[in-house]
């Protein structure tokens, strides 16, 4: 499975590379009615192409082009949930010294490889100019800082550990409400299975890693989970063994893998499946009108809770934008970063994306329903960092974890999975 999946990524990267050769950071000249004015193009590289996320990007783009009439936005987004395909292409572009003007990256360890390779410019002066350290939470700024320099601008906060469920499917199965523990979750999955519905929907390979991080957190607890990312941490203990056996059991209730997270989430919203563990970007997809989402009603067509065993802990991630060294249109990239950092930009983007703002001074009246709950959780919960979404593991470590999970999806051997995770930590966390 892993080989086939990586081959698909390679094909995608090759195809997008051929397309990206046609666009980039050059000038676009106006045509028609004798207009000769040139607009400088700003290539913004992301993986926001699906419903909800694309709507949020469009809202921020409109603000950018209104504030910068001499610039035009070039959307270099690459499809694929969680950005694995986009990062593969980005790596090729950076190695060839052909960076976009700015690119999306997860706050945390994910960016360290780019920083150490000398591919990013520090953004200290921008933070000082806009006084961003006053409006971003300190723990977030810490994750964006490496050796005293800040390297990206966060546009949001996402929660990874969300259990989405269909209330009617649970009612039909005799499940009183969302399960609070791993053990209750397994019992609920079994009850749904007896009804003939899909107990747990799942997407492409990365969604299995996403599921595993929530199971690890729910089984180990916050402190033990966070300790896995300390230097020299041991992944071979019995608590990790138990967590991975639970992961194996939970996965045994999963339906056929879907192409990505959206069709897996849709199975829940349509009543074909009971549960899905996915980040809160699913809310925008569920809730937004049909031209950008499913137009479903919360508490009726879908509902949410902390993933089993994780109530009181916010497993977080943050999307951010960077300034690559050698950006073809550096001034345009800086203009984009200012919009991404702004209160106006974040309040336009996040309600559509299904995320909450990175800024502490955002307009809270815009964040209703799930997003109101999420803001409250962010303010009060303990924090744990996401594996899949770049907070706790650098790219090499995360790649090793993904490979281990990919092999596990074929073998279903939890002992081999644990040994692979032990080796991944020993190799990448010294």
The enclosing domain of 176 has a CATH number of 3.40.190.10
Please determine, for residue 104, whether its predicted confidence score (pLDDT) is greater than 60: yes
DSSP state, residue 30: -
Average pLDDT of the segment spanning 102-117: 93
Q: Are residues 396 and 282 in the same domain?
A: yes
| Average pLDDT in the chain | 90
Q: Could you tell me which of 369, 401, 389, 380 has the C-alpha nearest to residue 158?
A: 389
Q: Are residues 248 and 361 in the same domain?
A: no
**Residue 85 covered by a domain:** yes
Please classify residue 92 by burial: count the beta carbons closer than 10 Å to its beta carbon, then call 0-12 exposed, 13-18 middle and 19+ buried.
middle
**Residue 310 covered by a domain:** yes
Q: Are residues 380 and 308 in the same domain?
A: no
- pTM for the full predicted model: 0.86
What local confidence, expressed as pLDDT, does residue 139 receive? 84
Query: For the stretch 96-116, what's the b/e string if a residue is b when 16 or more beta carbons lie within 10 angstroms of its beta carbon?
Result: eebbbbbbbbbbbbbbbbbbe
Under the banding of pLDDT at 50, 70 and 90, the label for residue 298 is very high
Give pLDDT tens digits for 186-228: 999 999 999 999 999 999 999 999 999 999 999 999 999 999 9
Q: Are residues 246 and 295 in the same domain?
A: yes
Q: Are residues 188 and 150 in the same domain?
A: no
**Residue 290 covered by a domain:** yes
What local confidence, expressed as pLDDT, does residue 329 receive? 98
Q: Are residues 283 and 219 in the same domain?
A: yes
What local confidence, expressed as pLDDT, does residue 34 receive? 37
Under the banding of pLDDT at 50, 70 and 90, the label for residue 38 is low
What local confidence, expressed as pLDDT, does residue 284 receive? 87
Q: Are residues 302 and 327 in the same domain?
A: no
**Residue 8 covered by a domain:** no
Give pLDDT tens digits for 325-342: 999 999 999 999 999 999
What local confidence, expressed as pLDDT, does residue 53 receive? 87
Provide the 3-class DSSP secondary structure of residue 72. strand
Q: Are residues 112 and 233 in the same domain?
A: no
What local confidence, expressed as pLDDT, does residue 429 receive? 87
Map tokens 């806009």 to a residue: 130
Structural domain for 64, as ranges: 40-158+317-385
196: phi then psi, degrees, rounded to nearest 5: 90, -5
Number of domains forming the structure of the chain: 2
What local confidence, expressed as pLDDT, does residue 325 receive? 97
């Amino acid at each position: 499975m892993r080989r086939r999946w990586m081959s698909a990524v390679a094909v995608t990267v090759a195809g997008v590379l051929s397309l990206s050769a046609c666009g980039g950071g050059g000038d676009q000249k106006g045509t028609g009615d004798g207009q000769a004015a040139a607009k400088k193009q700003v290539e913004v590289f992301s993986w926001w192409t699906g419903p909800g996320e694309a709507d949020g990007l469009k809202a921020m783009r409109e603000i950018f082009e209104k504030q910068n009439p001499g610039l035009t936005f070039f959307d270099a987004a690459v499809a694929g949930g969680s950005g694995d395909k986009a990062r593969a292409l980005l790596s090729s572009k950076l190695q060839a010294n052909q960076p976009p003007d700015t690119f999306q990256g997860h706050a945390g360890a994910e960016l360290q490889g780019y920083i150490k390779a000398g591919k990013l410019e520090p953004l200290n002066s921008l933070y000082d100019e806009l006084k961003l350290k006053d409006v971003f939470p300190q723990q977030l700024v810490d994750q964006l800082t490496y050796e005293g320099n800040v390297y990206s601008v966060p546009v949001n906060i996402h929660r990874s550990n969300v259990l989405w469920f269909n209330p009617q499917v649970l009612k039909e199965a005799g499940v009183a409400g969302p399960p609070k523990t791993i053990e209750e979750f397994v019992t609920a999955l079994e009850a749904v299975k007896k009804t003939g519905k899909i107990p747990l929907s799942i997407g492409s390979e990365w969604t299995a890693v996403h599921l595993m991080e929530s199971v690890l957190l729910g089984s180990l607890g916050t402190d033990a989970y966070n300790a896995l990312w300390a230097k020299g941490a041991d992944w071979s203990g019995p608590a990790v063994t138990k967590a991975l056996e639970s992961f194996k059991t939970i996965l045994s209730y999963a339906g056929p893998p879907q192409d990505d997270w959206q069709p897996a989430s849709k199975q829940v919203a349509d009543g074909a499946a009971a549960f899905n563990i996915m980040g809160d970007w699913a809310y925008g997809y569920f809730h937004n009108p049909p031209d950008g989402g499913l137009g479903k009603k919360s508490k009726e067509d879908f509902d949410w809770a902390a993933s089993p065993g994780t109530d009181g802990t916010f497993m977080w991630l943050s999307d951010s934008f960077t300034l690559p060294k050698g950006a073809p249109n550096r001034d345009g990239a800086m203009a984009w970063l200012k919009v991404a950092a702004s209160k106006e930009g974040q309040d336009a983007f996040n309600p559509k994306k299904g995320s909450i703002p990175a800024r502490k001074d955002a307009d809270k009246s815009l964040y209703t329903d799930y997003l109101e709950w999420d803001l409250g959780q962010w303010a009060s919960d303990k924090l744990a960092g996401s594996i899949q979404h770049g907070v706790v593991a650098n790219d090499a470590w995360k790649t090793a974890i993904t490979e281990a999970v990919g092999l596990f999806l074929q073998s279903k051997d939890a002992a081999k999975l644990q040994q692979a995770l032990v080796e991944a930590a020993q190799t990448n966390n010294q």
